[in-house]
């Protein structure tokens, strides 16, 4: 007689993903609505995660460049 048994194994792994990896993944298919929305969501999550202290550490010109870029992009939407 043969008895079959299913065994499930779980293993935790760590994966390092760089900002460059994320940018490449977002750029893979910008014509797909799903990819566009996912990319925008990821950008929003990243922006919200930037600590206020890190923003305050930027110089005025850097903050102005970022603000100008974000305003331009917001106008597109």
Q: Between these two residues, 65 and 32, which has the higher pLDDT value? A: 65
Asked if pLDDT for residue 68 goes beyond 90, the answer is: yes
Q: Give the residue from 37, 63, 60, 65 showing the smallest Cα distance to 50.
A: 63
Residue with tokens 């919200």: 48
d(CA 30, CA 70): 19
- The per-residue pLDDT for 69 is 95
Number of other CB atoms surrounding residue 70 within 10 Å: 12
pLDDT value for 33: 85
Residue 75 vs residue 28, higher pLDDT = 75
């Amino acid at each position: 007689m043969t008895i079959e048994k299913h065994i499930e194994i779980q293993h935790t792994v760590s994966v390092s993903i760089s900002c460059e990896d994320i940018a490449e993944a977002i750029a893979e298919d910008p014509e797909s609505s799903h990819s566009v929305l996912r990319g925008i969501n990821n950008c929003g999550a990243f922006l919200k995660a930037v600590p206020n202290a890190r923003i305050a550490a930027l110089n005025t010109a850097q903050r102005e460049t970022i603000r100008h870029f974000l305003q331009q992009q917001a106008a597109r939407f």
